Structure 1
Amino acid sequence: MSVRLIVCLFIAVRKCKMAFTLRSFLLLCAIYGLFTNVSSDHKTQVKDNNCPKGWTRLDCHCYIYQPDARMLADAESVCNILGGNVVSIHSSLENAFVLELFEEGRDEDDSALWIGLHDTFNENEFLWLDGSDVDFTAFDEDSGEPDDSTSGCVSLAQDDGEWDTDPCSTDYPFICITEVLTHSH
């Protein structure tokens, strides 16, 4: 064997050991973080209102308008990535607040936005995507809502703030909701 080949083998073995050591170190750090409840959440930029940057607070929740129209399932995925869900609404105040956020951010041609209510499992058994109780509704009853003939996803109408059922495949903008961030010191 030549000296050059021996040196190359030595370097290759050393690099493999270093890579293994680095991977082991990273794995150990991850396991340590799981057991000590250490996470990267503390790196989230927070405004004075304890909401992530760009979000608006009402009571114990933070809200953000998402103008890119999507189907409800895709909207929920976006909100999940942002740390929340498509908005669930539990009072007339919250409904008016969501409508105001929509008014402030919408394009002229946006007539409705998704809220996280649906009856896709059983007709007229509405559920919030975040699993919270359905303790408030604002269906446009004068127009026959909720409409049994329409697929089971619910939108909020821009013109009156009332709720309509629409096909879940319709693309609408949406609002995400998450809980106010708390800090442990």
Structure 2
Amino acid sequence: MSRQFVIYLVLGTCYLWPFDWVAGSDLYDQNEGGPKPLVCKRVEDDSEIDAPLARAYEPNILVPVSHRVYCDWRKGQVCNTEEFERNGGAINLGQDMDLGEESFSLFAHIRLRPRDGMDNWGGRILSKRTSYKTGWQFVVPSFYTRSISMYMNDKPGHITFGESMIPDLTWVTVGVTVDRDTFRKQNLATVQAYYNGQPDGTPYIVVMNTTLSSDAPLTIGHWMYEDNTLHRGRKDWRSPQRKRHVHRFFGDISDLTVWKTPLSPEHMVQYSDDTVSKWIGNTQPCPRSWRYFDCKCYKVFPTPLNFDNAWIKCEEQGGRLVVIDESPIQQFIWSLVVTSSDQDFWIGLNDTLNENIWKFSSGFELNYFLGQWNNFPNKFPDKEYKTDDCAELRKLYAGQWNDANCNKFNPYICEKEPAFCP
């Protein structure tokens, strides 16, 4: 696949930037005058930092000024597997910055890119943790659940705060906000994970009564102790072989951003959208409030309708009830519904025309009897009642599907084609 390029204008500066890459390959070639090694954006006076892009969906939403921005590829600050290897395993930023007793927010635009049979097991995006368990780490994906997690001292320790599984080979945004101010007198902090700008699960309340500051170096892509030695990794105690997995991040990181304040949900979605727009230009592939994934736009509609009316409403939106025919789409849809207070959602699958012949809203048949992927609990509709002809996604069962009566009233999920595919 040949490289394509797109030219776009950001704050009056014209950039030429790769638009399509071959997954798993080197993203740049030094022989072709590739990006320079990482140069961190170091600012002693916050007033010197440029404000985020003025191109906002809602001009009244102004994202707070960031404390640090790393991995700005447009400025030659490349952070990826190849760059980590060239730097001995991680990019060492020394004592460029630290987190102490203040509230903070972390954000990154990432793409997991496993290679040579090595997957991401506890990938350290940004780390500052000592051998004696002080410090902090922004970890995506987490060791077991492939979700968004943080380490913050020995107590509260390492906690998975997100609920969505981060897919491979797909650019997504991830973030965490830690509010230590609201309940400071009680020594409590509120932690919220974010996936693609949206809250990922419910907020956590954790005990936090000490500083997170440590004398370990600040590193991107791996974890270094205070003596600048790399952590050897962790054994998987669930496997008989007790295989040790290193905590390296395999993939690409851009726009790694730190604030010394907890961003609001409105700020986080704004910054996420602005970050994505810098890669694909100001024109968005999906309308406002629709979310982009893998060349489709998706939206959850909370108004309960029966299946037929939900089908009609999606068509009126220029789309159809969502087609979930592979695991990555299921994971993405789960990230959309996980924060909803609703429990069951119509998806585009039914057997209303021919009993036991289940078809997606795209017209394609679900051949579950031939082993085609699906998310029914037993890998096929149980048909508890003959009238259970329409499929719903159920939060109570971690996003598994259920065949239900089509006259039931549920919120629903629509999909439609984007204006273009980034």
| Bin for the TM-score computed over the shorter chain | 0.5 to 0.7
- Cα distance in 1, alignment partners of residues 420 and 328 from structure 2: 23
- Cα distance in 1, alignment partners of residues 338 and 364 from structure 2: 25
Per-residue CA shift, 1:153-183, capped at 9, x if unaligned? Answer: 0001113111110000000001100012139
- Cα distance in 1, alignment partners of residues 283 and 292 from structure 2: 10
- Cα distance in 1, alignment partners of residues 332 and 377 from structure 2: 18
User: Any conservation in 1 of the 2:357–2:365 contact (CA below 8 Å)?
Assistant: no
In structure 2, what is the equivalent of residue 6 of structure 1? Answer: none
Letter in 2 for 1:145: P
Which of 358, 374, 378 lines up with 1:126 in the alignment? 358
Letter in 2 for 1:72: F
- Cα distance in 2, alignment partners of residues 147 and 111 from structure 1: 20
Q: CA deviation at 1:148?
A: 5.2
The within-5 A match list for 1:57-96 is 57-96=292-331
Per-residue CA shift, 1:16-73, capped at 9, x if unaligned? Answer: xxxxxxxxxxxxxxxxxxxxxxxxxxxxxxx744112211000110001100010011
- Cα distance in 1, alignment partners of residues 284 and 328 from structure 2: 19
Which structure has more helix as a fraction of its residues? 1
In structure 2, what is the equivalent of residue 179 of structure 1? Answer: 417
Find runs of 4+ consecutive structure 1 residues off by over 4 angstroms: none
Larger Rg: 1
User: Any conservation in 2 of the 1:71–1:169 contact (CA below 8 Å)?
Assistant: yes
Letter in 2 for 1:168: C
- Cα distance in 2, alignment partners of residues 55 and 85 from structure 1: 14
User: Any conservation in 1 of the 2:358–2:365 contact (CA below 8 Å)?
Assistant: no
Q: CA deviation at 1:133?
A: 4.8
Letter in 1 for 2:295: C
- Cα distance in 1, alignment partners of residues 415 and 330 from structure 2: 13
Q: How many residues align?
A: 133
The alignment yields a C-alpha RMSD, in angstroms, of 2.1
Unaligned runs of 5+ in 1: 1-46
In structure 1, what is the equivalent of residue 227 of structure 2? Answer: none
Which structure has more strand as a fraction of its residues? 2
Compare relative contact order (CA 8 Å, sep 6+) and give the higher one, 1 or 2.
Answer: 1
The within-5 A match list for 1:22-171 is 48-104=283-339, 106-107=340-341, 110-134=342-366, 136-141=373-378, 145-147=381-383, 149=385, 150-159=387-396, 160-171=398-409
Identity value in percent: 29
Per-residue CA shift, 1:87-143, capped at 9, x if unaligned? Answer: 011211111111111123x22xx221000100112222101123245353111118x
